[in-house]
Amino acid sequence: MASSCCKISPIISIFVFFLFFIFSVCPVESVNFNASNQNFQPRKESLKMKIISDRLMKINKPSIKTIQSPDGDLIDCVLSHQQPAFDHPQLKGQKPMDLPERPKGQIPTSSMSEENVQLWSITGEFCPEGTIPIRRTTEQDFLRASSIRRFGRKIRRPIRRDSSSNGHEHAVGYVSGDQYYGAKASINVWAPRVANRYEFSLSQLWVIAGSFGDDLNTIEAGWQVSPELYGDNYPRFFTYWTSDAYQATGCYNLLCSGFVQTNNRIAIGAAISPISSYNGGQFDISLLVWKDPKHGNWWLEFGNGVLVGYWPSFLFTHLRNHAGMVQFGGEIVNNRATNSHTSTQMGSGHFAGEGFGKASYFRNLQVVDWDNSLIPLSNLKVLADHPNCYNIQGGINRVWGNYFYYGGPGRNSRCP
């Protein structure tokens, strides 16, 4: 397999390090368990539970059927026009859009597995036509969160040019400097170890526009292990969006109005099965995000031809037109809870150099051009901001096109 790593100028490195902070997927916050501050305050607790109850009423819509998942999730089948998206003032009273025009040149991607499914659907039960499956949010989900007010959203932190202390570490490939109308990749799925509740490990693609200040627009999709968000260590299919650098807009999955789901067999936020194993079977998912040239909405495809839904174009400012950068790769949070580097794993938990069957990968990387055509990348750059902890190696060949291996174990003798 041919392999090539790309050299990056110091200016580009500094620029991308700056971007990494803006893209941070969730807050790095410590929780104070000082007993002296834990006086029993029944009125305060009552108000807190009232806020949670009100939020749950808004998030969890009436269902016509509920499916019990083997991992403990409850999947509610909600009528399509009653999903959270239609709480948005600009969507009230509407119904999901018709199917979009797919990108040209799309070749069905053979998966490394015969079929990728989600745990909730292993029994063969699905939601009826005209409904969508939504993972039910519980009181416990709120009580685990570091911020009830910002539950389901990323917490905005001051912008700093130095990413070395913000706790988010990355190994990514990216393209920039052109107009992009979508991105596609196949990503193999693992269950990396996450050291504590307030850390996470994810692998995703980002579609990005804006000046990387308060006007940052992003669309994100991939898999993540997040004990804080989901209460377990399963890899889960997730989405995110924002139009103001995570300040007041956007959320994970369907936890706010915005993303319109059209599919009755995929539950965003639900666990993925099967997963890859070291020196064993490799299982990947294909993700495609693209801008429908007719209506301007950004559609999401999961697997081979399975349309999940779309982000309406009016949610965004810069992404109403096109993206200026596309990024693929892994990210973890390191909150240094033990005053040393975290042992949270990225990807498989093994370095890129171990290769197929051992390291994590992204393959068949493509972007969508102005003509709604999928094309290979011509200038992929790869970068790891903490290469002794997590690294990346890019390459290109006839079978996988543009690809890279990435990941690592976190704390080790070279990453204390």
Taking Cα atoms as reference points, which of 266, 260, 221 lies closest to residue 25? 221
Q: Which residue has the tokens 């607790």?
A: 45
Sorted by sequence, the CB contacts under 8 Å of residue 33 that are 6+ apart come out as none
Active site residues: 220, 331
C-alpha–C-alpha distance, residues 232 and 240, integer Å? 19
- CA 83-89-94 angle, to 5 degrees, is 55
Distances (CA, A) of 147 to 52, 150, 165, 166: 11, 5, 21, 18
Segment (H or E) for 183? strand 182-188
Other Cβ atoms within 10 Å of 182 Cβ, number = 27
The region that residue 135 occupies, defined by phi over 0 for left and psi between -120 and 50 for alpha, beta otherwise, is: beta
Distances (CA, A) of 20 to 100, 115, 385, 389: 32, 33, 9, 16
Distances (CA, A) of 29 to 214, 240, 379: 21, 20, 36
C-alpha–C-alpha distance, residues 256 and 59, integer Å? 7
CB 269 within 8 A of CB 277: no
On the CB side of 57, how many CA atoms lie within 13 Å of its CA?
Answer: 6
For the chain, the straight-line distance linking the first and the last C-alpha, in angstroms and rounded, comes to 32
Other Cβ atoms within 10 Å of 199 Cβ, number = 24
